[in-house]
Amino acid sequence: MKTIKWKLALLSTATAAILAACGGGSPGDQKLRIEYSSLVSFGDSLSDVGTHQVGGIIAMGGGQYTVNSPTAKNWTALLSAQMGLAAPCPAQKGLDGNASYGLSVPVVHTAACLNYAQGGSRVTNPVGPGNKLLGGSNAILGQLTVPISTQINTHLTKVGGRFSGTEMVTVMAGANDVFMNLTLVGLGAMSAPSAVTSMGTAGAELAVYIKTLIVEKGATKVLVLNIPDVKGAPFGMAQSADTQGLIDLMVTTFNTQLKTGLQNTAGVLIVDAYTSSKDETANPAQYGISNATTPACLMDPSKNALGTSLVCNSSNVVAGDVSKYLFADSVHPTPYGQQLIAQLVAKELVLAKWF
């Protein structure tokens, strides 16, 4: 009972922080402990604020990996609002897919935008889910999948080689390495032990990038989220018991190597998205979740041409109220799921006195 009360108390604190960002709460709630000049984000679809919101994706009512709407925000947007900063925008926009579907759109870079996260991006390998080099439906979509290492170096080039030290930097990546390695195992192109080893390598690489390309380049506040519980998502739950075990081992191996590599690194705060997401699916009612197992978005090709939350909106969700569903598709959170990530981050920032 004490554990549950403690959890709910922390969630209340985090919720108050998010409500303050949206204009609620008292004036005192809205004052930060630290003032930040900007929010700089690196990562994958969970942090992407619209890299592929172009051409045919816009026409299909999409742009972010959730249930899209004019008010839908991911956790980086909620965090930015809490920091009193302008809404984040994608540093790069475009698609390299099939022109007949409106998915071949020239890449445009926006200097003022500091969210580099992209759907499909991996830690180091430039070919992630949705990249045209994978062929098939991937070639139709043509996601850019710029890896985290390149995202960081692109920002460094933009800002003259160093962070100012007044920004907050967020990093969240690794899940696409899980999906790619799992695909290779399924094709017989990689053994299960090799897939686990590869994930450990990716976790260690990300730690090195954070230390050498972010911290050692002047950043003083770096927020790092580990990989959530992929096994507990609808995608993972649809797999065999053996595959679920492999998925979980890949995720935990990555997370362990990431944590080990960043141990005692000043200015880095690791947020345990894995444990939090695992608890959300195990105890949904405690988080206000109405459904933690069924995707809110319909995957029927006649209603969702791409079969992904990237083009999900109110016109192609399941019947009924999906506002408190946890998952939009088989892996991506709904806006409510994104709010839960933001609440987790707010809680950890408050505890670390970074707010």
Residue 19 lies in a domain: no
Residue 16 lies in a domain: no
Residue 338 lies in a domain: yes
Residue 9 lies in a domain: no
Q: Which CATH number goes with the domain that contains 323? A: 3.40.50.1110
Residue 213 lies in a domain: yes
Whole-angstrom Cα distance, residue 309 to residue 228?
A: 18
Indicate the number of domains in the chain.
1
Residue 198 lies in a domain: yes
pLDDT, tens digit only, all 355 positions of the chain: 333 333 444 444 445 544 444 334 433 344 446 899 999 999 999 999 999 999 999 999 999 999 999 999 999 999 999 999 999 999 999 999 999 999 999 999 999 999 999 999 999 999 999 999 999 999 999 999 999 999 999 999 999 999 999 999 999 999 999 999 999 999 999 999 999 999 999 999 999 999 999 999 999 999 999 999 999 999 999 999 999 999 999 999 999 999 999 999 999 999 999 999 999 999 999 999 999 999 999 999 999 999 999 999 999 999 999 999 999 999 999 999 999 999 999 999 999 999 8
Residue 10 lies in a domain: no
Residue 134 lies in a domain: yes
- Domain carrying residue 311: 33-352
